[in-house]
Amino acid sequence: MSTHHGEFKVTHGKLVVVDLDVRDDVVAAATISGDFFLEPDEALGAMTAALVGLRTDAPLNEIAAAVDEAAGDAVLVGFDAHAVGMAVLRALGRSTAWHDHDFTLLDAGPLHPPAQMALDEVLLRQVAAGERGPTLRVWEWASNAVIIGSFQSVSNEVDLEAAARRDATVVRRISGGGAMFVEPGNTITYSLYVPETLVAGMSFVDSYAYLDAWVLRALRALGVEATYVPVNDITSPAGKIGGAAQKRAGGAVLHHVTMSYDMDADAMVDVLRIGREKLSDKGHTSSGKRVDPIRSQTGLSREEVLEAMLKHFESSYGLGRTPLDDATRAEADDLATTKYVDDAWLHRVP
- What are the pLDDT digits (tens) for 166-199? 999 999 999 999 999 999 999 999 999 999 999 9
Q: Which CATH code is given to the segment(s) 99-346?
A: 3.30.930.10
What mean pLDDT, rounded, does the chain reach? 94
DSSP assignments along 256-285, one per residue: EEEEESSEEHHHHHHHB---HHHHHHTT-S
pLDDT band, very low/low/confident/very high, at 285 (cuts 50, 70, 90)? very low
Measure CA 39 to chain center.
37
What are the structural domain ranges in the chain? Answer: 2-94, 99-346
Which fold is adopted by the domain 2-94? Enolase-like; domain 1 (3.30.390)
* 213, pLDDT greater than 50: yes
Rounded to 5 degrees, what are φ and ψ at 265? -65, -35
pLDDT, tens digit, 9 for 90 and up, residues 253-282: 999 999 999 988 899 999 999 753 455 555
What pLDDT digit, counting tens, does each position of 29-51 carry? Answer: 999 999 999 999 999 999 999 99
Count of alpha carbons within 13 Å of 291, Cβ hemisphere only? 31
For 61-86, what is each residue's pLDDT tens digit? 999 999 999 999 999 999 999 999 99
**In the chain, % of residues over pLDDT 70:** 95
239: pLDDT confidence band, cut at 50, 70 and 90? Answer: confident
Q: What is the pLDDT of residue 277?
A: 40
Nearest to 30 by CA among 72, 84, 71: 84
Rounded mean pLDDT, 130-152: 98
Looking at the predicted structure, is the pLDDT value of residue 295 above 70?
yes
